[in-house]
Structure 1
Amino acid sequence: MPFRVKLLRHLRLLFIATSFTLGAYEAQAQFTLGGYSNSHYAGIHGVPNNPASAAGTHYKWDVNIAGIQGGAGNTYIRFPRSILLHPPDSLQALKQNRDYFLDTAAASTKKQLAWGNVDVMMPSVLYSIDELSAVAFTWRVRSMANGGNITTDVANFFAQDFPNPAFANKRYDMPWANGSFHWWNEFGFSYARVLKDDGNTVFKAGATLKLLSGVAAGYAQVDNATFVMHSRTNGEINDGTLKVGYSDGLANWQNPALSNYKLFGNMGVGMDVGITYEWRATVDGLTGYDDSQWNTEADDYRLRLGVSITDLGSITYKKNPGSRDLDLRTENVNTSDLRVRKGESWQQYYTRISTYFTALPSEDKFRMNTPAALNITADYNIDGRFFINAGGRMALNAGKFDPSKTYMISYFQVTPRYDARYIGGYLPLTVNRSGQVDAGVGLRLGPLVIGSSTMLSNLFQKNKNRLDGFIALRIIPIKRGEGKVGCPGTNF
C-alpha cells in the first residue's frame, strides 16, 4: 500500500472517535508538551502558554523551524491496539466488540465526551533585547473540534444500532449537547519584560497581541430536548431546539483538506497575558548575555510561579444560507429517516432533516470564540538539573451559554524533569476533568523536541480511547566550552 494512502488512513482514524459520538473536544490545544513548555529551556515554545516567560530567558535568540502537536480521544469508545496499525477504510467497516468497544455500562448521569485537535507552529522567533526585555513573533495554524455533554443512556440510544427497538417507549432527555469545529490562522506579536529584580525576587510580565484569520467554522447545539421512539419508523420529540451555524468555508469543503487554507479570509483579534514570579535562595538576580548568546542566571530560581490567560479573542463568520436554527418539536417523525444515508454528506443530511422541523429566525453572522483558558504553574528547582513542575489549566468558556465557541479541557499535571543545556527529559502525569489519568514522556535533544502526554499509558492499555503527540525542530544558540561549576545554566 502506498505510504500516502497509509498516512491518510491513519489520520482518518485519529478522528474516528470524534465522528462516532457528540463529544466535547477537550485536548490540550495549546502548542505544548507537558513539563517542557513550562521549563526555562522552552524559549519560543513557552510563549504560547505564558508570554511572560520570554523575558530573562537563557536564549539571546531562539527560532522555531516547524512544530506540530495533535491529539484525539473520547470517553465512550475504546479501540484495540491492532486498529492503530491497520486502520479501516471507513466508519462503516468497523464492527462493534471487534474493532471498538462501547462504555455502555457507565452510569447514565455520566457525560460522554470526544475530542480532536491539530496545532502547527510555523517559523517563529524570540529575541532577547537584553536580560530585562524580549520580543517574539509566533505563527500558528490551529484546528479544533468540540462537542458532547450527553449522558450515557442517550449515547447508547444513538450508538447501538439506531433506531433499535430495544430502546423503544422510553423517554430520553437531552438538556444540552453541543458540537463545533474551528480552523484558523494566527500571527502573534509578543513583548515581555522584567518588572522587578532585587536579587531575591524577580517579577516578569508579558502580552501577546494576535491577528486572527478564520478558514472554516461551524457549530451545533441542542437545548432542552425530550424524545420517545415508539418504533423504527415512528417517534416524537416533545421539546427542544437546535442551533446551527457554519461558514461558507465549511460548506464548500474541498479535497485535499489543505486546499481550503487561505489567509485573511475572516479577520479577528486575540490576546494572551501572563506574569511570573521567581524566588531565589541567594541574592544574585539576572545577569546579561555572555558573548551575546547565553544568560547564565536565567534558571537560578528555587521556585517559579506563573499565571496566564490565553486565547482571549474571536472571529466573526458569515453564516452559510443553508444553516438555520430549528424547533425540534414534532408529534410524528420517521425515526429511520434521522439516520445518515449511505454516501450522504453532512450538508446533505442536515438539509434533508431540516425539512422535518420548523425553522427559527437567527442571525446571518456568528462569532466563533477562541479557547480562552486560565493557566497556573509552579516550578521547583531541586538541584539545578532536576525539577518538579505542577500546573493546571481551566477552560473559561466551556459552558452552554454561547454555542459558537471552541474550548479547552480543564486538567492538572505534574511533571518531574531533567534539564541540562542541550538535553532534557520529561515525564508528564495528567488527570483531566473526566477523571482520565495519563502518563507520557518527552525528550529534548539540542534543537529537536519530541514526546507524548499519553505514550506510557497507551503502552500498558489493551484498548485505547485517546492519543497525542508533539514534535518540533528549532535553532538555538550553541556555545562550546566548559560551564561554571554550580551554575545550572551552564551545566551541560
Structure 2
Amino acid sequence: MITNFKLKHRIFNFGLAVAVICFCSQTYAQSYLGNSMDNYAGVHAVVYNPANVFDSPFRTDINLISASGYFGSDYLGLSLSDMLSADGEFNFDEDAERSPSNSNHFFTNIDVLGPSFMFNVGEKQSFAVTTRLRGLFNADNVNGNLYEKVSEGFEIGENFDFDSQDLNVTAHVFSEIGLTYGREVVKTQDQFLKAGITLKYLMGAGGIFMNSPELSGTFNGLTNNLTTQGAISYGSTPGFESDSPEFSDLQSGFGADIGVVYEYRKRIVDGTVLGKRAQQYKFKAALAITDIGSINYQNSQQTVYDANGDVNALEFETKDLEQVLEDNYTGTRTIGNQKLQLPTALQLMADYYIGNRWYVGLHQGLSLRKSGSADANGIINTTTVSPRWESKYFSVYSPLGLRQYSGFAWGLGFRLGPLTVGSGSILTNLISDNSKNTDIYVGLKIPLYKKIDY
C-alpha cells in the first residue's frame, strides 16, 4: 500500500500525459453511455458490438473524430456546483468529501475514436475499419485509510494498523486498428439474427504496473516507526521508467471483439406528426465480448521487494518512493517480458420499442477481469436504463445507471445530424454534493443514410 501513495505524483504525470494526447488529437469505463443504444449510432455502436455493423440505417457512416472520458473513485466525492462557484479557489484537500475504506478503487478511461468508417458489401454482409487511442488506469483495493495517513502525515502518539489484499495499480496507453465483419445469420418474417467479429492490431505505447497480494503493517505513534509485512512488485515498460513517459517504442499485440444481435421484427407502421414510418423491430437483444487480448512488452523492468521491515515515517516526507524502498527493503530487479491485459468485458443490451419513436434500452457492462488482477485493466460494472426519442436526424436520451463503487448516475445526451454530445452522469454531477464519477463524450461524423426511414 505504501507504494500507491508515494507513487501519486508519477501516476498524476502519467494521467496528464494521456489527457494531453487525447485532447491534442482533438478530442471512449465505458464510452458513449446512452448514445450506444441509438439505432443511428453507426460506428460508435460497432465498438460495443461488432454485429451492429450489419443492417444499419446507413449506406456508410464516417467518424471524423470522437472522444469520451470516464473518471471516478469510491474514495473522493465532489460537488460540481461548488467547484463552478468557487472562482478557481476550490481546495480539493479541504472541500472534497472523502470516503476511505480498506479497499478503495480509482479508475480512468479515456477513449478517442479516430477516423473510422463502415460500409455495406452486397445485401448480407458489411465491414468497418476503426482507429482508436486509449488510456486506461485502474487502482484496485487501495487502503484509503493508509492513503490519508501517508498523504497527510502520521500523527505522533497515535497508533495505526492496516491490512491490504490484492492491491493492483495498472496504467496503460495503446492504440488500435480494427477490421470488423458482420453478416446476416437468420432472417424470417418475424425473426432476425446477425453476428460480427472485430480483429484488432494493437500498438502499445506502454504503462506502469504495481501489485501486492498481501501487505500489512503497524505504525507506532511513539517511535514514529512503520513496521510492514508482505511483498510489493513494481515495474514499467520501456519508455515509462521516468516521470515523463516517452512514446517512441511501440510494441504490438492482437485483440478481438465478438457479438450477436437478435431482433423480433413484428413490423409496425407508426403515424406521427412527422408522417408515417416503418419501424424495424419491436424488441432487440444483443450480447458481445469485447477487448479480448493483451500486449506483451519486451525489455520491461520489474522490481520485487521483500517488504518485511521497518521504516521511519519521516522518510516518506523527504524521499521519493524508489529511494524509500531501496533504503529499507531488499529488492530483486529483472528485465524481461511483461504482458498487460486488455479490459475484457461482457456487453449485454436490450431495446424495446414503445411507439411514436420512443424506445427504452437496457445496457449492462460487466468486467471479465477480476478486481485486483495483476497487470490488467478492467471496466467498472454498470447497469444503465436509457429512454430515448429517436429519428433519422435527431435523437435525445437520458440514461439512468448504477455504477460499481460510485452508485447512481443520471445523464443527458443528444445526436443532431453529424454531431453527438452527452454524458451519462451530468445531471447527477450538477445536483449531487458528493458525486464520485463523471463522464462526457463528443463526436463528429459524416452519416450517409439509406433511403428507408426506420
Q: Which TM class, normalised by the smaller chain length? A: 0.7 to 0.9
Distance 1:167 1:309, change over 3 A: farther
Distance 1:244 1:409, change over 3 A: same
> CA shift at 1:398, angstroms?
2.9
> CA shift at 1:175, angstroms?
1.7
Deviating more after overlay: 267-276 vs 363-372: 363-372
The CA distance in 2 between the partners of 1:252 and 1:213, in whole Å, is: 20
Mapped pair 1:337 → 2:315: yes
The CA distance in 1 between the partners of 2:369 and 2:446, in whole Å, is: 35
The CA distance in 2 between the partners of 1:33 and 1:338, in whole Å, is: 41
Mapped pair 1:230 → 2:220: yes
Mapped pair 1:327 → 2:306: yes
Aligned partner of 1:24 in structure 2 is none
Contact 2:139 2:169 in 1 (8 A): yes
Contact 2:72 2:406 in 1 (8 A): no
Match of 1:241 among 215, 225, 231: 231
The CA distance in 2 between the partners of 1:230 and 1:433, in whole Å, is: 35
Aligned partner of 1:29 in structure 2 is 29
Distance 1:167 1:307, change over 3 A: farther
SS for the counterpart of 1:191 is strand
Give the AA of the match of 1:121: L
Aligned partner of 2:113 in structure 1 is 121
Aligned partner of 1:316 in structure 2 is 296
SS for the counterpart of 1:250 is coil
Contact 2:315 2:324 in 1 (8 A): no
Distance 1:454 1:166, change over 3 A: farther
More strand by share: 2
Aligned partner of 1:490 in structure 2 is 453
The CA distance in 2 between the partners of 1:166 and 1:15, in whole Å, is: 36
Give the AA of the match of 2:305: L
Distance 1:407 1:133, change over 3 A: same
Distance 1:174 1:477, change over 3 A: same
The CA distance in 1 between the partners of 2:157 and 2:260, in whole Å, is: 56
Mapped pair 1:74 → 2:65: no
The CA distance in 2 between the partners of 1:380 and 1:162, in whole Å, is: 54
Aligned partner of 1:372 in structure 2 is 344
The CA distance in 2 between the partners of 1:232 and 1:61, in whole Å, is: 71
Contact 2:67 2:111 in 1 (8 A): yes
SS for the counterpart of 2:35 is coil
The CA distance in 1 between the partners of 2:161 and 2:133, in whole Å, is: 43
- What's the TM-score once normalised by structure 2's chain length? 0.86
Give the AA of the match of 1:326: Y
Match of 1:416 among 387, 399, 403: 387
Aligned partner of 2:429 in structure 1 is 458
Distance 1:83 1:353, change over 3 A: farther
Matches within 5 A, 1:41-80: 41-80=40-79
Aligned partner of 1:97 in structure 2 is 94
SS for the counterpart of 1:60 is strand
Contact 1:157 1:167 in 2 (8 A): no
> CA shift at 1:67, angstroms?
0.5
The CA distance in 1 between the partners of 2:321 and 2:226, in whole Å, is: 19
Deviating more after overlay: 203-212 vs 171-180: 171-180
Mapped pair 1:305 → 2:285: yes
Question: What is the total number of aligned residue pairs between the two structures?
Answer: 425
The CA distance in 1 between the partners of 2:333 and 2:252, in whole Å, is: 25
Give the AA of the match of 1:115: F
Contact 2:60 2:449 in 1 (8 A): no
Contact 2:401 2:408 in 1 (8 A): yes
> CA shift at 1:176, angstroms?
2.3
The CA distance in 1 between the partners of 2:111 and 2:157, in whole Å, is: 42
Give the AA of the match of 1:338: F
Identity of aligned residues (%): 25
- What's the TM-score once normalised by structure 1's chain length? 0.79
Contact 1:34 1:427 in 2 (8 A): no
> CA shift at 1:437, angstroms?
0.4
SS for the counterpart of 2:315 is helix
> CA shift at 1:151, angstroms?
4.5
The CA distance in 1 between the partners of 2:318 and 2:359, in whole Å, is: 52
Aligned partner of 1:387 in structure 2 is 359
Distance 1:14 1:403, change over 3 A: closer
> CA shift at 1:351, angstroms?
4.3
Mapped pair 1:469 → 2:443: no
> CA shift at 1:250, angstroms?
1.5
* Structure 2: 5+ residue stretches without partners: 1-11, 19-27, 270-276
The CA distance in 1 between the partners of 2:39 and 2:56, in whole Å, is: 7
Contact 1:43 1:54 in 2 (8 A): yes
Contact 1:184 1:213 in 2 (8 A): yes
